[in-house]
Structures are given as structure tokens and as C-alpha cells.
């Protein structure tokens, strides 16, 4: 499960002064075999602990809790993958990822509701099976357009202007975007909750004795398929290779004729689209309202911090680890502690393994 080329942490800093190059070299020496082994140990410990949590949750809350955790894990993985890609390719720590999720859920709501109303008057089995997917596709497209626009309008001018303190500036820009989007939505659509009870009006499936609503299963499958397709895209297609090349060495990629601007726009658009897709497919769980993105954002960032900024595969595994942690917290402490316990766990992990459990030797991207 190693996406060889794409070591997210391992980005050469595009720096006008060139000071950091020197020190980047220094950091690399640290990732000797010993540290690698230690990091792998941390990863294995985390996976074993997660399986332990899964078993405990299974006994305490029933098998359906385990399934719910797996489904949530798929979603966190999808969101965290988007974050990791943006971080790797563009060096942008995206705080507006939750708003992409929010946009997706709104689009899905506004597309699906008329379809649903139409179907209640003109029942059609085929359309009720396909209808939600129209919403998903529209959310994906809307997310892509939004992401591309943001990249063109915000990051592109900044990149042209100055690259000094890029990471922090870009982060603060995304904070601004996040506020504009969520409060703008609040202004236009109001703070109302817009949700649907379910996408597919069919009986829940029974898996290992647990009743699983079809919506959840579809959401999970959708997340898994998106992750696989995106991965295939990165690994096998020419454009995907170009994205990986940019994430490794922007100047080098430019030298061999890759259109950096295009790659940046495409990456941001795709990552935003994936987040919007997640929002759309989870509309039955997360009703659409202006700040719905906060929790997904929190957990996606949590995953990225937890696994370190090293690799995308780590983000996928990390999604499940975080989901089980979250489910266990809900199970034993109550849903109100969902924000607290994971942070405490995170503090502990960062003390033991500061670059994350799957971290590469490089401690995250360089600043300045």
C-alpha cells in the first residue's frame, strides 16, 4: 500500500532565497533505517490498537457500530486524501475543505429534492434507483468548478505575487475562503437545516445480523470507488503522473514541460470535488447547513496530522483508525466528548511520534 512516487512530506520547497534547500538536506538524513523501523512500529501499534478498539466496540455496541465506524472511516479517508493531495501538490493546508463538503451537501439537496418530488408523483423504479446519483454527479461537478475557481482567483494571484511564507499565507487564505463560503451560505440560504431522511426508500440489508441502511453502504462503496479511481488516476495516467511530479519537484516538473498552473487548478478542483462528493453522499447523516463542514474538516485534518504528512495510503488507513477512535468515544463517553478525547490521543501520539504514525523522516513541509 505504498504510493511510491508521491511522498507528500518530501516536497522540495519552492523558495526564492534558497536557504531552506540546505536544511531540507539535513532533515533527510534523519530518516535512517532506525527511524523508519520506529515509525513502522508506531503504525503497527496504531493498527493493532484500532483492531482492539474495533473488537471492544463490537462487543459493547454490537456489530452495527463497527460497520458505522467503517463507513465513517471511508468518508474520513476520502476527505483526508483530498487534503493530503492539496497539501502535497500545492503546499496549501486547506482549511476550507469542510466548506467543499458543505457545498456538496447543499447541491445534492437541491438537486435531489425536485427529483424526489417528481418521483412521488410519477413513481418509477429505475429513476428512484438512479436519482441520487444525479445529485452526486452534480455535487462532484459543482465541487470541481468551485475548487478550480478558488484556485484561479485566490492561490494563483498569490503564487504569482510572492512565494515568501507561502504555506502560512495560503493557510490563512483558506481560512478566509472558509468564512466567506460558510457565512455567505448563511446569508443567502439562512441557517436552516436541509436534510433528507434517506436516498433510497428500500429495506435495510442485513449483514452479519446487523441492519444496514442501503444509503450507508452506497456511501461507503462510493468512497472506496472514488479513492480507487483517484489512486489509479494518480498512478497510471499521464496527468496523474504529472501531478505526482509536481508534488515531488515543482521546478523539475516545469523543466520537463508540465503546465504547473493547469496541474494546480486540476488538483485543487479534484480534491474539492471529492470533498463535495463526500458531502453529497452523506446528506442523510449530515444535513446541509452553513457550518456542517466543521466536523468533517476537523476529522480530515485529524487524520492528516495523525498519519503524518508522508503519504496518501497513510491517510486512507488513518481514516479508519480515526473513525474507530471516534466511535469508541461515542460509545463509552457520549457524543459530546467526540472533540475532546481524540485530541488528547493526538497529543499523546505527537509526543511519542512527532511526525505522525506513518510519518516519513521529513517533518512536514518546509515553511517560509
Partner 1 sequence: MFDFKNNLKDLLSKTGFSTAGIIALVVLLILPFIPPFNNEYILRWLVVGAFLAAEAVAFDLTAGFINVVNFGFAAILGLGAYTSAILTNTSPVIPVQVGLSPWLGMLIGGIIAGFAGFILGFLTLRLRGIYAAIMAWFVGIALLGIVRNIPKYTRGSLGYSPVGLLETTSNRPYFYIAILLLLVIYIVSKIIVSSKYGLAFKALGQNFDAARASGVNPTLYRVFNFTLSSFFAGILGGFYAHYFRSLTPKAVMHTSKTVEVLAIAFIGGRGSLWGGILVAFPFVFFIEYLRSALPSLPGLHMIIYGILMILVMIFYPNGVAGLIKWMKTGISRKKKYPISLSGS
By CB under 8 A, how many residues form the interface with partner 1? 52
Among 129, 164, 229, 352, binds partner 1 (CB under 8 A): 164
Which parts of 71-100 interact with partner 1 (CB under 8 A)? 93
C-alpha to C-alpha distances, 204 to 198, 210, 217, 287, 332, nearest whole angstrom: 11, 9, 10, 20, 26
Sequence-distant (≥ 6) Cβ neighbours of residue 122 within 8 angstroms? none
Cell matching residue 182: 460558510
Among 51, 55, 187, 202, binds partner 1 (CB under 8 A): 187
Among 183, 193, 232, 262, binds partner 1 (CB under 8 A): 183
**Can you tell me which residue has the cell 474539492?**
272
Q: Work out the number of other CB atoms within 10 angstroms of the CB of residue 107.
A: 25
Strands (E), the chain: 205-207, 210-212
Residue 260 Cβ, how far from partner 1 at the closest point, in Å? Answer: 18
Contact window for partner 1 (CB under 8 A) among 44-52, 171-179, 227-235, 311-319: 171-179
Closest to partner 1 by CB, 59 vs 348, is: 348
Which parts of 12-51 interact with partner 1 (CB under 8 A)? 19-20, 23, 26
Closest to partner 1 by CB, 171 vs 200, is: 171
Contact window for partner 1 (CB under 8 A) among 38-46, 110-118, 131-139, 161-169: 161-169
C-alpha to C-alpha distances, 92 to 22, 176, 217, 365, nearest whole angstrom: 22, 13, 32, 10
Q: Are 218 and 234 in contact (CB under 8 A)?
A: no
Residue 99 Cβ, how far from partner 1 at the closest point, in Å? Answer: 11
Which parts of 287-346 interact with partner 1 (CB under 8 A)? 298, 301-302, 305, 309, 336-340, 343-344, 346
- Residue of 270, 272, 274 lying closest to 243 (CA atoms): 270
Q: How far apart are CA 281 and CA 366, in angstroms?
A: 35
What mask of x and - would describe binding to partner 1 in positions 227 to 266, judged by CB under 8 A?
A: ----------------------------------------
Residue 131 Cβ, how far from partner 1 at the closest point, in Å? Answer: 33
Cell matching residue 187: 446569508
Among 2, 120, 162, 192, binds partner 1 (CB under 8 A): 162
For 289, which DSSP code?
-
Residue 228 Cβ, how far from partner 1 at the closest point, in Å? Answer: 28
Q: Does 130 bind partner 1 (CB under 8 A)?
A: no
Cell matching residue 199: 436516498
Q: Does 192 bind partner 1 (CB under 8 A)?
A: no
Q: How far apart are CA 196 and CA 337, in angstroms?
A: 26
Q: Does 52 bind partner 1 (CB under 8 A)?
A: no
The dihedrals phi and psi of 139, each to the nearest 5 degrees, come to -65, -40
Closest to partner 1 by CB, 116 vs 363, is: 363
* N- to C-terminal Cα separation, the chain: 32
Q: Does 352 bind partner 1 (CB under 8 A)?
A: no
Cell matching residue 354: 512527532
Q: Crossing angle of helices 33-61/63-90, nearest 10°? A: 150
Binding residues vs partner 1 (CB under 8 A): 19-20, 23, 26, 93, 154, 157-158, 161-162, 164-165, 167-169, 171-173, 175-180, 183-184, 186-187, 191, 298, 301-302, 305, 309, 336-340, 343-344, 346-347, 350-351, 354, 363-368
Amino acid at each position: 500500500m505504498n504510493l511510491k512516487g508521491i511522498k507528500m512530506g518530501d516536497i522540495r520547497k519552492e523558495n526564492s532565497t534558497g536557504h531552506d534547500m540546505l536544511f531540507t538536506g539535513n532533515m533527510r538524513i534523519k530518516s535512517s533505517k532506525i527511524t523508519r523501523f520506529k515509525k513502522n512500529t508506531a503504525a503497527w501499534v496504531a493498527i493493532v490498537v484500532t483492531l482492539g478498539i474495533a473488537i471492544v466496540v463490537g462487543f459493547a455496541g454490537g456489530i452495527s457500530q463497527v460497520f458505522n465506524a467503517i463507513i465513517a472511516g471511508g468518508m474520513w479517508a476520502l476527505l483526508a486524501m483530498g487534503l493530503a493531495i492539496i497539501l502535497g501538490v500545492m503546499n496549501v493546508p486547506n482549511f476550507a475543505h469542510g466548506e467543499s463538503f458543505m457545498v456538496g451537501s447543499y447541491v445534492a439537496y437541491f438537486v435531489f429534492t425536485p427529483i424526489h418530488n417528481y418521483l412521488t408523483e410519477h413513481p418509477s423504479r429505475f429513476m428512484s434507483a438512479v436519482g441520487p446519483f444525479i445529485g452526486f454527479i452534480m455535487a462532484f461537478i459543482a465541487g470541481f468548478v468551485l475548487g478550480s475557481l478558488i484556485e484561479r482567483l485566490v492561490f494563483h494571484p498569490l503564487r504569482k505575487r510572492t512565494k515568501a511564507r507561502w504555506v502560512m499565507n495560503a493557510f490563512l487564505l483558506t481560512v478566509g475562503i472558509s468564512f466567506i463560503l460558510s457565512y455567505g451560505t448563511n446569508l443567502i440560504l439562512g441557517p436552516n437545516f436541509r436534510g433528507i431522511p434517506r436516498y433510497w426508500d428500500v429495506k435495510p440489508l442485513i449483514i452479519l445480523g446487523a441492519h444496514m441502511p442501503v444509503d450507508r453502504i452506497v456511501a461507503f462503496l462510493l468512497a472506496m470507488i472514488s479513492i480507487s479511481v483517484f489512486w489509479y488516476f494518480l498512478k497510471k495516467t499521464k496527468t496523474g503522473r504529472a501531478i505526482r511530479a509536481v508534488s515531488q519537484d515543482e521546478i523539475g516538473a516545469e523543466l520537463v514541460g508540465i503546465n504547473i498552473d493547469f496541474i494546480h487548478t486540476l488538483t485543487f478542483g479534484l480534491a474539492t470535488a471529492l470533498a463535495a462528493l463526500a458531502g453529497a453522499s452523506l446528506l442523510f447523516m449530515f444535513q446541509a447547513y452553513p457550518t456542517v463542514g466543521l466536523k468533517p474538516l476537523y476529522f480530515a485534518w485529524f487524520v492528516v496530522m495523525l498519519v503524518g504528512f508522508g503519504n496518501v495510503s497513510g491517510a486512507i488507513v488513518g481514516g479508519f483508525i480515526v473513525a474507530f477512535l471516534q466511535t469508541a468515544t461515542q460509545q463509552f463517553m457520549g457524543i459530546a466528548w467526540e472533540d475532546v478525547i481524540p485530541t488528547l490521543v493526538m497529543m499523546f501520539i505527537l509526543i511519542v511520534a512527532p511526525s505522525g504514525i506513518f510519518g516519513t523522516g521529513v517533518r512536514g513541509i518546509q515553511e517560509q
